[in-house]
Amino acid sequence: MTPRSFLLLGIMSLSLGLGSCSTGGGGGGGKSMFEPSDQQINKEAEKAYADVKSKATLSTNARWNEMVQRVGTRIAKASGENFKWEVILIEGKEVNAWCMPGGKMAVYTGIMPVLQTEGALAAVMGHEVAHATKRHGREGYARAMKGQLAGLAVAVPLALAGQFWCKSQACKVATLAGAAASGFAVTFFQMKFSRGDETEADQAGQIYMAKAGYDPSEAARVWERMSKASGGKGPPEILSTHPANAHRRDNLTKWLPEAQAEYARSSDKRGIGENI
């Protein structure tokens, strides 16, 4: 696998015995659902992240690395979660960033020139961190298990990372197969967050960046820059799991007063930070 295949990483080696949990009396129907714990998901995410680091080409850009570490530390603290936070800067053309459950983050060098400012980077990292703090990966995994794998013992690769915006198919899809104790192998080519998850992550991420001392008005500008970088291309919002760029910009503008209040309370303001 090439380093650019790492957007949706996470080989989940859990052997899952999913039995039925019946409700009601004799002859009544039953349902089963796998609800992985934070501990289980985070442990597997750590393994996947170690694999990413061993195979990806890490950036040697000292200034960008320092900025990513600084912003990551601030956003992690602002989130209030006691995760084992870590962030790396991966050399790659993908305009992307992600955060696995448990706080394992990555930023691709391809996104840096598009963002233009440290504050915009904080908006992106806040969004991705929010996917982890809101447990969107766990919830999506549980839904998939309920809908497709009830009653099976399997090991699956879980797409844990947020899809911010990718140019290449390799960035969008990690094709990793898990071997099952029962002989089955299940590959999730793509597990997308719902549109509701994306909207929640946008709003929470804006709050995180404000608490971290970054001007939250910069979050809306991210989507103007994303639209420009993509040439305005993209599927109609109704056909996409992600809200349209213009819709996200409008939402972030609407939510700005609440975020500005958090920013006003921040004791260490950086505004939009350094230019990228």
Token pair of 19 as six digits: 């039995």
Quote the CA–CA distance of 179 and 86 in Å, as a whole number. Answer: 29
Q: Give the separation between CA 111 and CA 11, rounded to whole angstroms.
A: 25
Q: List, by residue number, the catalytic residues.
A: 128
Q: What is the Cα–Cα distance from 131 to 118, expressed in whole angstroms?
A: 20
CB 68 within 8 A of CB 87: yes
**Token pair recorded at residue 192:** 């997308």
Nearest to 265 by CA among 78, 13, 109, 8: 78
Task: State how far the Cα of 255 lies from the Cα of 107, in Å rounded to an integer.
Answer: 25
Q: How far does CA 30 lie from the centroid of its chain?
A: 33
List the structure tokens of 185: 């192998």
Residue with tokens 């004799």: 26
